[in-house]
Structure 1
């Protein structure tokens, strides 16, 4: 058998050994399922079959944004999805996670490269004088699953990043809705403040008239002017709050915060009641909990990778190429083609405790990921219970404050009439005006809070906002 035939046989034998090693390599343990993670994280917690607060157990609705029936709000949500910097950062993190998966998968595959060399040395130094090209193949055999664990961890981290992005989309839609409600509330407060200033101006004029005809006093005039100044000061404060609300909304939309956004000045009508499903469904539906579960899986894979790193490694390499040199041309017994096959095994013996320390570190990280899942799950259930309770309480408060505001408006009209005919003093009118204004402001606050809490409920339940693309909303974001 010639040397060339022998080398070819050795190459085939090595490749066959590679395939045998891969086929009989150590199996990678499966990641914990979502149910297993829930059982491990929430084994101490008893999750009831229904919510403590009264709610329908029907399936949670999707597309909650449409339930507000506010085209302007829908357009703003789409604008924020397309231009919000925080969401763009989350999208970039998903791309990074995808790239990490590609890198992890690439380590499992052979590396093929072309090695070229050219040079000139004195004749006495033949090796550096050689020049040529060689095709080189190198491959680290994943005997114990170390690289497969790393790949699976990268995939789990990618899944977590994707779920984080979906939750970021939902959170952004909810933030835009809440900011929109606040901006409309402050706009309506400005209208109330303007009405109170007008009423204060009328009282100043009325007190001046009564003083001129001898039916009033200088004290009444001073009281009326002091109250007017108070109303005007409150009007300035509310205008500042309104501009701040506009800037907060513009930042969410990715716009320059110039407080130039046009606001209708009316609160969105409160939608109909929504079904809340059952508590167990929230754990499987919310993207942030899905992300936490996938991080537990990634931590599990990293533990497997650390343990496999304590075992021997095997790397194979092969090369085939052609070399040329004047010295070779002089001798006929020197071939101008060359091939190599090599195997390298590394057995860890002593690393100063680094390998065992890495296992302990990864194990502690896995425990942390499980605890983090438990924390997030309990917080999610608390958010739903809190939002459901707020639905009932705020509805009752709106009814009570609505009755109080209407009664105060009637009393103000009667007190103003009594003051005109001299049957009551200005203090009673002023006090009743302040009480009416406070009731109106409180009513607006509760109405806006109900809308915001409804958004919180949708977000806590994990329902997708599912905003349909409006015809004039510009570029649409990626589908969820």
Structure 2
């Protein structure tokens, strides 16, 4: 090799090394700032971690069946699954750019030479491959792979929300069924009191206004029962839709009762929560995808080198078509020179999008910490409220019994008995609702703490 040839080779190698070094710097932007620092610990903690399928902690076979059915048939969850499949298809399409593309072609044409016509047959193969010098193709593939992982996290978050919604709806239905039993019992009690007042009115020991007031209370009790019946039907319809069937097309479990509150689960460390919750994982993958998008946008400003190769054969006789081949090998270098600042602006857009994802991830982490603390506070306060309600119910029962005895003996008026009776009945209804609210706070805690449990149609190739 001559001196001039050696010099040209060395110059080309030096230029290529320099471009590679610049490209490596360009496609590795500075790491994004870390999300907000998590607190050291949550305000309360239990002894055992919540099970992955957390609703089983309520020890309610009917609830377990309903959640399993919803996870397999809910249409909103199926929509989320199809979004996941779309994201995976986009990932696979983008990753195809990492490999050469090969196409086969075949043709036939007739050539007119003036006096004669000749049939020509052709066949060939063509291949093309872009050398990913600056990581543009790889960064785009990485971005779509990360978005597919975010899609899986979103799917798991949707399943988690669905399980919580089914649990809450089931507990509300059980509550209203209990309220219906109570409303029937209270209606019977109010009718008994009405009979007592009518008997006293008949002998002149009660006023007609007392009878009217008690009749009004009986009518209100009937209205209360009608309202409860309507709420039961609405909740049954809601539960049917969550199960993926039309209202009235599913046989729900029998009456049942509200389950007892399970022991408080171990809340763990807030830093572990960030790595476990599917919505936070999804936000993290979106952040990483934005970082890969930025790398690809920066790489767009550097040259592209594409290699192409082809094999062709042409013959007048199809039997001799593959006897002679013509091969070509070419390289194509494209260097963007003037684009009016389009690529630079696109890089700025992706840099801003990456910063947006950083803030979204930090905000999602803050909300996750808040949800856990809110559920813990609400559950603790609700337990205290229920203790107060139970005490009030006992006092109201005692007061009503004593006032009724005094009323029969003529020591107090009917209005005092009526007020005590209404307070007693309202407190009992409130206590039942408070039990359901306590379970709802526990569901919120499980939802805030739980990770993305596997779902029936889920596969792990994201």
Q: CA deviation at 1:31?
A: 8.3
8 Å CA contact 2:175–2:436 kept in 1: the answer is yes
Where 1:112 maps in the other structure, the secondary structure is: strand
Matched, 1:41 2:19: no
Partner of residue 273, structure 1: 264
Q: 1:78 to 1:455 in 2, by over 3 A?
A: same
Q: Distance in 2 between matches of 1:65 and 1:343?
A: 61
Q: 1:307 to 1:110 in 2, by over 3 A?
A: same
Matched, 1:323 2:314: yes
Partner of residue 228, structure 1: 218
Q: 1:390 to 1:293 in 2, by over 3 A?
A: same
Partner of residue 171, structure 1: 161
Q: CA deviation at 1:252?
A: 1.3
Partner of residue 472, structure 1: none
Q: Distance in 1 between matches of 2:112 and 2:368?
A: 76
Q: 1:30 to 1:280 in 2, by over 3 A?
A: farther
Partner of residue 11, structure 1: none
Q: How does 1:129-278 map to 2 (within 5 A)?
A: 130-258=120-248, 261-278=252-269
Q: Deviations over 1:381-436 (max 9, x none)?
A: 00111111112111111111011112212322333333334333332222112111
Q: Distance in 2 between matches of 1:196 and 1:32?
A: 70
Q: 1:57 to 1:210 in 2, by over 3 A?
A: closer
Matched, 1:412 2:389: no
Where 1:120 maps in the other structure, the secondary structure is: strand
8 Å CA contact 2:153–2:452 kept in 1: the answer is no
Q: How does 1:46-125 map to 2 (within 5 A)?
A: 46-51=37-42, 53-56=43-46, 62-123=52-113
Q: 1:125 to 1:394 in 2, by over 3 A?
A: farther
Q: 1:59 to 1:224 in 2, by over 3 A?
A: closer
Q: 1:122 to 1:266 in 2, by over 3 A?
A: same
Q: Deviations over 1:270-321 (max 9, x none)?
A: 1112211122221111111111111110000000011111111121211112
Q: 1:133 to 1:413 in 2, by over 3 A?
A: same
Partner of residue 345, structure 1: 333
8 Å CA contact 1:65–1:466 kept in 2: the answer is no
8 Å CA contact 1:183–1:263 kept in 2: the answer is no
Where 2:310 maps in the other structure, the secondary structure is: strand
Identify the match of residue 311 of structure 1 among 287, 302, 309.
302
Q: 1:125 to 1:231 in 2, by over 3 A?
A: farther
Q: Distance in 2 between matches of 1:190 and 1:339?
A: 85
Q: Deviations over 1:171-208 (max 9, x none)?
A: 21111111111111111111222122212222222222
Where 2:295 maps in the other structure, the secondary structure is: helix
Q: CA deviation at 1:360?
A: 1.2
8 Å CA contact 1:61–1:463 kept in 2: the answer is no
8 Å CA contact 2:35–2:358 kept in 1: the answer is yes
8 Å CA contact 2:151–2:282 kept in 1: the answer is yes
Identify the match of residue 457 of structure 1 among 418, 421, 445.
445
Q: Distance in 1 between matches of 2:146 and 2:117?
A: 49
8 Å CA contact 1:185–1:265 kept in 2: the answer is no
Q: Deviations over 1:116-155 (max 9, x none)?
A: 1212353369999743111111112212110000011011
Normalising by structure 1, we get a TM-score of: 0.84
Partner of residue 384, structure 1: 372
Structure 2: 5+ residue stretches without partners: 1-12
8 Å CA contact 2:27–2:296 kept in 1: the answer is no
Q: CA deviation at 1:32?
A: 9.7
Q: Deviations over 1:67-98 (max 9, x none)?
A: 21111111111001000111111111221122
Identify the match of residue 446 of structure 1 among 434, 446, 456.
434
**Aligned-CA RMSD value:** 3.0
Q: Distance in 2 between matches of 1:227 and 1:74?
A: 40
Number of matched residues? 438
Structure 1: 5+ residue stretches without partners: 1-16, 330-334, 468-475
